Amino acid sequence: MPKPAPRTIEAVYEDGVFKPVRRVALPDRSRVRLTLAPLSPSATEKALVERQRKALLAVVGIGASNRTDISERHDEYLYGKKS
């Protein structure tokens, strides 16, 4: 039986396991050799990271602000939204 031709697939590494982004036509428990080539983050991922960074920076030092209603007004302080 001839060997299938090598191909490149994209996968996400999560919880110690490589998870293909798309379905792979291989029988379960097939052994393969992986060559890792990290992909650069997409514009969407970069935008998400930037929003998260800004949200975290907004709460840095909030414990030193003498505010006592953080749990009640959490969204307002983080996002400027009144509940």
- Is 46 within a domain? yes
Tell me phi and psi for residue 30, to 5 degrees: -65, 140
Q: Let me know if residue 1 belongs to a domain.
A: no
On whether residue 48 sits in a domain, the answer given is yes
Instruction: Tell me the pLDDT tens digit for each residue of 26-45.
Output: 999 999 999 988 888 888 88
Task: Please provide the average confidence, as pLDDT, over all residues in the chain.
Answer: 85
> Which structural domain, as residue segments, surrounds residue 69?
41-83
The residue-averaged pLDDT of 18-22 equals 93
In a domain, 60, yes or no: yes
What is the pLDDT at residue 15? 93
| Residue 77: other Cβ atoms inside 10 A | 16
For the chain, what is the domain count? 1
Task: List the structure tokens of 10.
Answer: 């994209």
- Whole-model pTM above 0.75? no
Beta strands 17-20 and 11-14 are: antiparallel
Tracing tokens 């998400």 back to the chain, one arrives at: 48
Q: Which helix (H) or strand (E) holds 44?
A: helix 43-59
pLDDT for 1-14, tens place per residue? 677 778 888 998 89
Tokens found for residue 19: 């998870």
